[in-house]
């Protein structure tokens, strides 16, 4: 049998979290994921989320790898294969500009997320033209 790699999104695909759900994966899907692995296939998560936003229910499915932060981080078997990181100077410039404009923002890097203390809290993640998400992390 030929091995395949299956990629799954989280929100609205394997989890109904944005529809009032608990961000849980159904028992039927968990069984299907186990069956795919049993058949020798690889299962990956591909999401806009950083690793810090993967809950225990998702991690319990023992995915072979993760494409995180909209492709900024790629992991397989617990090892980072790729990461795109903005240089620290660029992040500082962007943050300074957002602070001056009273923009709400958050920065993420694999297991850490920083939320700004300034800006509008109304619709802070979606639909707010004054909000930004630097998905490619903050520089080392």
Instruction: Give yes or no for a contact between 56 and 90, defined as CB atoms under 8 angstroms apart.
Output: no
Residue 18: which H helix or E strand, with range? none
pTM comes to 0.74
What is the tens place of the pLDDT at every residue in 15-33?
765 545 566 788 899 999 9
What is the tens place of the pLDDT at every residue in 112-135?
888 787 665 543 444 444 444 454
Bigger pLDDT: 15 or 138? Answer: 15
Instruction: Enumerate the H helices of 6-129 as residue ranges.
Output: 27-38, 56-59, 88-100
């Amino acid at each position: 049998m030929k091995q395949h790699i299956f990629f799954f999104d989280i929100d609205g695909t394997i989890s109904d979290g944005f529809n009032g759900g608990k961000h849980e994966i159904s028992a039927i899907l968990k069984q299907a994921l186990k069956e795919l692995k049993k058949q020798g296939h690889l299962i990956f998560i591909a999401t806009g989320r950083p690793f810090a936003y993967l809950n225990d229910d998702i991690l319990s499915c023992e995915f072979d790898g993760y494409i995180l932060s909209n492709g900024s981080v790629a992991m397989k078997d617990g090892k980072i294969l790729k990461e795109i990181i903005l240089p620290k100077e660029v992040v500082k410039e962007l943050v300074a500009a957002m602070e001056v404009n009273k923009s709400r923002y958050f920065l993420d890097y694999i297991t850490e997320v920083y939320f700004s203390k300034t800006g509008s809290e109304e619709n802070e993640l979606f639909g707010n033209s004054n909000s930004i998400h630097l998905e490619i992390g903050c520089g080392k």
